[in-house]
Amino acid sequence: MEIKVAENIGFCWGVKRAVEITFQALRDSKSKLYSLGRVIHNPQMTAELSELGLVIVKDMSGVKKGRFLVRSHGISPLLLSDLSSRGIEIVDATCPFVKRTQSLIRELRGLGYRIIIAGEKEHPEVKGLVGCADNEAVVINSADDAGISGLDASQKWAVVAQSTQSQKEFQEIVSKLVERNFLELRILFTICQETLKRETSAQDLARTCDLVLIIGGFDSANTRRLKEIAESSGRNSYHIEHADQVECRWFDGIGSAGVISGTSTPRWVVDEVIKRIKEDTSYLLIGGGNK
């Protein structure tokens, strides 16, 4: 069996940066380091950081002192201000690409625009973006969202995207918005380039392989989208978090298998999955991701 590994696997630059900042903060060990939810959507890395002392909480209301890690997703400016006013030290690991979108939203608000965010309402990045719009942004998850028809077309609107939003979904949402004939509609393409590269890789693997294996956290938005892309081709596609979830029967009669990962999946997790496939199949490993 031939194994094709995507060119872009392992951490994206923003996630790698956030993890490095977290490790450094834990090494400093001046005081407890808190995170509002998991730093990244990866169970192995979450476990490792917790073992090193990162305290993951659901809210910060009961925390009186210590340090707070802003995840790569970013957070609401209001929460950031509240924590700072309480004397809690901020360790900012927000992805620069997400921070740029936050700045754009604040700038657009200052120019009188109302904000539309194409993304998942409950995703932590989107919650932070909504906060940058004074909690008045409208979140649209898909082109079929009923909220589109309820927007006041007589006002100025600007639309941005969650950094991991599907390009196809974003284009469909924008097309629906354009049909409304707004007084003014500004469209800012804020999808991360790394997300686009991985979507393209998923399409290529689905087109050339009999099976596609997607590695990443089950709650990772960008990883789930890679699975959707691979599935839409009609290929057998499997989303796993670690090597122990690989099932040999998937590869029976398969001539080629593609391997790709989400942006928050460590490279070593991908390597373990490839090793498991090697152990259980007769293979030929090719592709840019095996360097």
Residues 6+ apart with CB under 8 A from 151: 116, 138, 157, 177, 180, 182
Q: Amino acid identity, residue 54?
A: L
8-state DSSP, 40: S
Chain position carrying tokens 């991985």 = 198
Q: Which of 125, 169, 194, 241 is catalytic?
A: 125
8-state DSSP, 228: H
Task: Tell me the CA distances in angstroms from 273 to 5, 165, 232, 253, 284, one per residue in order.
Answer: 11, 26, 23, 19, 15
Instruction: For residues 288 and 127, give the distance between their C-alpha atoms in angstroms, rounded to a whole number.
Output: 35
Q: Are 269 and 215 in contact, with CB atoms under 8 Å apart?
A: yes
Instruction: For residues 119 and 145, give the distance between their C-alpha atoms in angstroms, rounded to a whole number.
Output: 11
Strand intervals (E) in 121-247: 138-140, 156-161, 184-187, 211-215, 236-240
Instruction: For residues 40 and 190, give the distance between their C-alpha atoms in angstroms, rounded to a whole number.
Output: 20
Decide if 172 is catalytic.
no
Q: Are 273 and 246 in contact, with CB atoms under 8 Å apart?
A: yes
Instruction: For residues 243 and 280, give the distance between their C-alpha atoms in angstroms, rounded to a whole number.
Output: 12
Instruction: For residues 155 and 88, give the distance between their C-alpha atoms in angstroms, rounded to a whole number.
Output: 39
Chain position carrying tokens 């979830």 = 245
Residue among 108, 61, 99 nearest 77 (CA): 99
Query: What residues act catalytically?
Result: 125
